[in-house]
């Protein structure tokens, strides 16, 4: 893990982050997107983050290539929700179970800890033992499950909601 640096995401990471995300879109129920995203979409997504503030994104970099990311983004579009964020984390296939997710989340939470954020939410397509384990280890608690809320690959999937107090 010493060969991996955690740094802020850059526009030049868009292609690598797109490949990671689209793997989960095409191969798993982890993302509820049904069609792969485009490079233009991923670039626009990256432009929504800042170096300060509530919405930030960090990547795990090995030899100049992003192999995962953690981000905080707007939870809902109504103003009363502005002190809540949704957090997301995605790793390249084969990179889980090595402590990388924990490092990414620690960096993200340190960066946003001084912001006006009261709650962080992780929304996890179930089953997903790795993501549930990471979120619980990072101080999230399970607050509910929406049953059969999404349909993908010809079946319905549950979504677990996890909450972390911040600030």
- pLDDT at residue 167, as a whole number: 75
DSSP 7: E
Q: From CA 60, how far away is CA 17, in angstroms rounded?
A: 10
Q: How far is CA 123 from CA 86, 87, 129, 144, in A?
A: 8, 8, 13, 10
Q: From CA 25, how far away is CA 4, in angstroms rounded?
A: 25
Written as six digits, the tokens of 72 are: 């905080």
pLDDT in tens, 106-136: 999 999 999 999 999 999 999 999 999 999 9
pLDDT in tens, 13-22: 999 999 999 9
Confidence (pTM): 0.95
The total of structural domains in the chain comes to 1
pLDDT in tens, 60-109: 999 999 999 999 999 999 999 999 999 999 999 999 999 999 999 999 99
H/E element, 125: strand 119-126
**Residue 145 reports pLDDT greater than 70:** yes
Q: How far is CA 39 from CA 11, 19, 20, 22, 27, in A?
A: 11, 9, 12, 10, 18
Q: From CA 28, how far away is CA 160, in angstroms rounded?
A: 16
Q: From CA 157, how far away is CA 124, in angstroms rounded?
A: 10
Task: For residue 90, list its beta bridge partners.
Answer: 69
Alpha helices in 113-154 (DSSP H): 129-137
Q: From CA 118, how far away is CA 70, in angstroms rounded?
A: 18
Q: From CA 119, how far away is CA 37, in angstroms rounded?
A: 28
**In this structure, what CATH number is given to the domain that contains residue 150?**
3.40.630.30
The mean predicted confidence, pLDDT, of the chain is 96
Residue ranges making up the domain that contains 97: 4-165
């Amino acid at each position: 893990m010493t060969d991996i640096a955690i740094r802020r995401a850059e526009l030049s990471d868009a292609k690598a982050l797109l490949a990671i995300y689209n793997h989960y879109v095409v191969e798993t129920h982890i993302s509820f997107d049904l069609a792969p995203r485009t490079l233009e979409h991923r670039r626009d997504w990256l432009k929504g983050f800042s170096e300060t503030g509530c919405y930030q994104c960090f990547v795990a970099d090995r030899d100049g290539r992003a192999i995962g990311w953690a981000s905080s983004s707007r939870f809902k579009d109504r103003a009363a929700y502005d002190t809540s964020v949704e957090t997301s984390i995605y790793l390249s296939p084969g990179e889980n179970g090595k402590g990388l997710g924990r490092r990414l989340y620690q960096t993200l939470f340190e960066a946003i800890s001084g912001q006006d954020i009261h709650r962080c939410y992780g929304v996890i397509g179930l089953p997903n033992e790795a993501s549930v384990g990471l979120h619980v280890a990072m101080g999230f608690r399970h607050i509910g499950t929406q049953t059969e809320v999404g349909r993908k690959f010809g079946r319905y999937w549950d979504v677990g909601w996890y909450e972390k107090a911040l600030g």
